[in-house]
């Protein structure tokens, strides 16, 4: 699919420049115009920092602001930010309370955030904790390999940790909280069209008119099965069924249901899927206590949706409900 | 392109059901589950009502709430709501201060809202005024025919009228204000891919790999020229140039710059276009005082953007800045 761009090499930076130009009331560029941070920082609180490759917009830059992130580092499309970028973000936002890094579980991201953390901690300059997000149940758990990927559930982790940090939680508490939110969160996605990578302007996988890709990630990688295209009710039942199986049971539990667009799927279809997913879970005794529908964690122009469930308790519900003022998430 | 749907006949209603299920804190269904209205109505204020065919989501249902619309009526995909639907919305939301109807300039919408207004005014039951939105400069002005279409600028009109109504403006004042906002607002769009209509699952127009459609509307209709695909800077200059020409001059004027996605274009590309459009207008002496970037006024899964300029004065700026609490627009 064609794109609005001047060239693949400058795409990520030009998007970032436009983002900062549009949201100068909330964010400013950090050193070297390679990361963004909150315009007004609170030196008493723990800095909450995330980042990753470009191509997942509005994540993570759109989540910088009151009640969520202090800084977001963006690499090239689907490429981790460098340790230097992350280190600069830590130095600009941590005034002594420490920094909590939220990292999606991909080899490159994990390695670069780890290197940045080591550099930041050298000589006791900064205290750092890291939360790894791995909510994608399409990848089987195993003792070997990288394990499950971080996908749309990252938004939930960033909102809850960001709000707790805003309220004054200490670094160690935030680490425990973040790991708990990750454990309570599971996601699965399905695509009707692959991602068009700007370097090649070709789709990463090509689906026939009667095919869909089940279990996709957010980097244009193929899913775990190619199924026959079917109606929305059957697709919702398939994905929600996998999520329910992975939890074991959710009977009687209160949850957040988050239906996320992967880039090119219209909001109307997301609401349609949300209605079907909600009905599916309610039939299985799940209480949909909170909901979110929108295009937040994307894979460039992939057409598809992901469905995320986070099991809520009173504390997590309060963290979700608290005000947030970012470019893309506001209440 | 494939869609998440159970069938073309039920698509619009299923989307609406999902929308209401997701936003029960803000909206409720009206009579017959055919329109949505604010959960908490203020009987002292003028009711602000809009609507149109489905397929433009989040417009209009996503704009129901504090500081914007009191009700939104949705027809089938790209089909006007019926006079009965609109009349029911008027009856449920106007307690005596009157109702202001915001109507996009299409024959079917204008006719059905007019019939509903006549039915509502019969016997003096309701006082009604109507604002027709016609911001699309791709259509030439002429003495004959329907004239310019209503497109993304509708959001700006709904925000400003909605906020003035919330503040207690009288019906006649809102009519004058609405017409003034329409006069101050111009839009033009460009598509890289046509709209896939659910009834046929085919695109309304098919573009070659090196073509783009300039001057598109929001119903999958072709634009005013088919041009060679080019880089984002050239596209932004082309569209912004047409808008500038249509205004005559904007030198030294303060404006709202709104870059809108037409459905399938990722937010990253919208920010890229915003940055280029902003730079273009600034080079021409225009002051970008306010901005909005996002996918708000759509044509199902069309890939493309529209660019809207509203000339601001102190009053319109204050109306834009005032708080709004809807499903899709919040600050």
pLDDT tens for residues B110-121? Answer: 999 999 999 999
- Does any CB of chain A come closer than 8 Å to the CB of residue B240? no
**pLDDT recorded at residue B143:** 59
Average pLDDT estimate for A93-107: 97
- pLDDT of residue A284 exceeding 90, the answer is yes
**pLDDT confidence bin for A221, thresholds 50/70/90:** confident
- pLDDT of residue A143 exceeding 70, the answer is no
**pLDDT confidence bin for A222, thresholds 50/70/90:** confident
pLDDT tens for residues B264-277? Answer: 999 999 999 999 99
Q: Which of residues 267-286 of B touch A (CB under 8 A)?
A: 267-276, 278
- pLDDT of residue B145 exceeding 80, the answer is no
pLDDT tens for residues A250-268? Answer: 999 999 999 999 999 999 9
A276 Cβ contact list (under 8 Å, min separation 6) = A232, A233, A236, A237, B14, B18
Average pLDDT estimate for A203-229: 93
pLDDT tens for residues B179-188? Answer: 999 999 999 9
CB A191 within 8 A of CB A212: yes
**pLDDT recorded at residue A144:** 63
- How many angstroms away from the CA of B25 is the closest CA of chain A? 11
Active site residue A56: yes
Measured between beta carbons, which residues in chain B are less than 8 angstroms from residue A16? 271
CB-based contact A233 B272, cutoff 8 Å: no
Fold of B185-311: Hypothetical Protein Tm841; Chain: A;domain 3 (3.30.1180)
> What architecture (CATH level 2) is domain A11-184+321-326?
3-Layer(aba) Sandwich (3.40)
- How many angstroms away from the CA of A17 is the closest CA of chain B? 7
Question: Of the ranges A138-147, A162-171, B129-138, which one carries the lowest mean pLDDT score?
Answer: A138-147
The strands making up A287-294's β-sheet, listed across from edge to edge, are A225-228, A211-214, A185-193, A303-311, A254-261, A287-294
In chain B, CATH 3.30.1180.20 covers 185-311
**pLDDT confidence bin for A202, thresholds 50/70/90:** confident
CA distance B192 to B264: 10
**SS3 for A311?**
strand
Average pLDDT estimate for A98-106: 97
| Residues of B with catalytic function | 56, 219
B208, B213, B267, best to mutate vs chain A, most A CBs in 10 Å: B267
- How many angstroms away from the CA of B287 is the closest CA of chain A? 13
**pLDDT recorded at residue A199:** 84
In chain B, CATH 3.40.50.10440 covers 11-184
CA distance A224 to A120: 38
CB-based contact A273 B4, cutoff 8 Å: yes
CA distance B225 to B211: 10
Of A212, A264, A274, the CB nearest to B21: A274
Closest CA to B291 of B314, B312, B305, B262: B312
pLDDT tens for residues B3-34? Answer: 999 999 999 999 999 999 999 999 999 988 98
**pLDDT recorded at residue B222:** 87
Asked: is B11-184 a CATH 3.20.20.120 domain? The reply is no
**pLDDT recorded at residue B195:** 94
A65 Cβ contact list (under 8 Å, min separation 6) = A26, A27, A38, A324, A325, A326, A327
**pLDDT confidence bin for B129, thresholds 50/70/90:** very high
**pLDDT recorded at residue A142:** 61
- Does any CB of chain B come closer than 8 Å to the CB of residue A58? yes
Question: Of the ranges A163-172, A296-305, B37-46, B217-226, which one carries the lowest mean pLDDT score?
Answer: B217-226
pLDDT tens for residues B235-266? Answer: 999 999 999 999 999 999 999 999 999 999 99
- The per-residue pLDDT of chain A, averaged, comes to 96
B16, B18, B19, best to mutate vs chain A, most A CBs in 10 Å: B18
């Amino acid at each position: 699919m064609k794109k609005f761009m001047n060239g693949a090499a400058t795409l990520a930076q030009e998007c970032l420049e436009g983002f900062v130009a549009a949201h100068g009331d909330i964010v400013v560029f950090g050193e070297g115009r390679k990361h963004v941070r909150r315009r007004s920082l609170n030196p008493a609180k723990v800095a909450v920092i995330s980042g990753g490759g470009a191509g997942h917009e509005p994540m993570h830059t759109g989540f910088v602001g009151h009640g969520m992130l202090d800084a977001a580092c963006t690499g090239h499309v689907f490429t981790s930010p460098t340790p230097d970028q992350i280190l600069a973000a830590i130095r600009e936002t941590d005034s002594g309370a420490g920094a909590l890094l939220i990292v999606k579980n991909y080899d490159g991201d994990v390695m670069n955030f780890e290197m940045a953390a080591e550099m930041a901690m050298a000589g006791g300059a900064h205290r750092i904790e890291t939360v790894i997000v791995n909510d994608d149940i399409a990848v089987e758990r195993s003792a070997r390999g990288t394990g499950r990927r971080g996908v749309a559930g990252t938004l939930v982790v960033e909102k809850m940790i960001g709000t707790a940090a805003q309220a004054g939680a200490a670094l160690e508490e935030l680490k425990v909280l973040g790991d708990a939110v990750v454990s309570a969160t599971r996601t699965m996605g399905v695509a009707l069209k692959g991602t068009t990578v700007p370097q090649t302007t070709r789709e990463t996988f090509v689906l026939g008119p009667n095919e869909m890709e089940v279990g996709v990630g957010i980097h244009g990688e193929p899913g775990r099965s190619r199924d026959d295209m079917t109606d929305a009710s059957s697709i919702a039942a398939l994905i929600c069924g996998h999520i329910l199986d992975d939890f074991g049971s959710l009977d009687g539990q209160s949850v957040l249901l988050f239906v996320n667009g992967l880039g090119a799927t219209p909001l109307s279809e997301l609401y349609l899927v949300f209605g079907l997913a909600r009905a599916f879970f309610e039939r299985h005794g799940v209480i949909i206590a909170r909901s979110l529908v929108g295009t937040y964690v994307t894979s460039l122009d992939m057409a598809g949706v992901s469905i995320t469930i986070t099991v809520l308790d009173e504390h997590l519900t309060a963290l979700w409900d608290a005000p947030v003022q970012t470019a893309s998430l506001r209440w």
